[in-house]
């Protein structure tokens, strides 16, 4: 099966190579079946390496061109002046102004965000789970791109496949944390099945963060990772199914 990344018109019009890669087109087997790119998973390292090679090749590069962090649910954004050749500094976003560098983020329910300012020639990729989104990873990514000469108003950003509100039940105390940190964030919570539960709109919250950061145009692809096991890995789905581990999806962007 061929790779079948999801692309978006906002990034197509920006003229950048990009893809929110699904699990289709890979060589992993078992619970990781497909295009697992998670170096931190317990999958066969040779399969992971081949899957990453296929993604890099699809975007016109080689694995050494990839720049993907060792993700720690932080607000840390890194600048890549060249491909990282397998190195993974800690952080949750990477930006570049160097053609050929493939900025990447790995997710399995968290929100991948791909950003571009085609006029400045700068792109970026961010991993935005609830903690990173709350703590400021979007603002950090935009600031790192600004340091390379971009203007937020010229930027476009797309939030890729992630867990949607209907699939993301959390405790009421979770909402309390958001309310204290960001008044106005209550709009991203809906009642859960019981009084002590809420449903959290992660993609909506990330889009709000992009708006707050001044990004000119942003959209969500609309895909819920938890409900589509054929195309997406999902931490939440794996946990509910009692599986020991889960694969990771890669979202990537490059100036070409």
Q: How far apart are CA 208 and CA 218, in angstroms?
A: 10
Q: Is the pLDDT of residue 1 over 90?
A: no
The strand pair at 77-79 and 102-107 is best described as: unpaired
Write down the pLDDT at residue 231: 97
Q: Is the pLDDT of residue 214 over 80?
A: yes
Write down the pLDDT at residue 28: 98
Write down the pLDDT at residue 85: 95
Instruction: Report residue 160: phi and psi, to 5°.
Output: -90, -170
The residue-averaged pLDDT of 24-37 equals 97
The residue-averaged pLDDT of 213-234 equals 98
Write down the pLDDT at residue 256: 75
Structure tokens at 166: 């209907």
């Amino acid at each position: 099966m061929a790779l079948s990344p999801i692309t978006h018109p906002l990034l197509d019009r920006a003229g950048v190579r990009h893809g929110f890669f699904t699990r289709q087109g890979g060589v992993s087997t078992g619970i990781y079946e497909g295009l697992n790119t998670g170096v931190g998973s317990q999958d066969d390292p040779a399969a992971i390496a081949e899957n990453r090679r296929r993604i890099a090749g699809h975007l016109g590069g080689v694995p050494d061109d990839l720049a993907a962090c060792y993700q720690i649910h932080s607000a840390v954004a890194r600048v890549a002046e060249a491909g990282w050749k397998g190195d993974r500094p800690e952080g949750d976003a990477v930006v570049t102004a160097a053609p050929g560098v493939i900025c990447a983020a790995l997710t399995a329910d968290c929100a991948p965000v791909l950003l571009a300012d085609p006029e400045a020639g700068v792109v970026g990729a961010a991993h935005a789970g609830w903690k990173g989104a709350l703590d400021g990873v979007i603002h950090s990514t935009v600031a790192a791109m600004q340091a390379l000469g971009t203007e937020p108003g010229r930027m476009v950003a797309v939030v890729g496949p992630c867990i949607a509100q209907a699939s993301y039940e959390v405790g009421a105390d979770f909402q309390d944390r958001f309310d204290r940190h960001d008044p106005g964030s209550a709009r991203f919570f809906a009642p859960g099945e019981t009084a002590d539960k809420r449903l959290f709109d992660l993609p909506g919250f990330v889009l709000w963060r992009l708006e707050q950061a001044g990004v000119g145009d942003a959209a969500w692809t609309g895909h819920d990772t938890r409900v589509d096991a054929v195309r997406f890995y999902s931490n939440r789905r794996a946990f509910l199914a009692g599986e020991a581990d889960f694969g990771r999806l890669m979202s990537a962007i490059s100036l070409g």
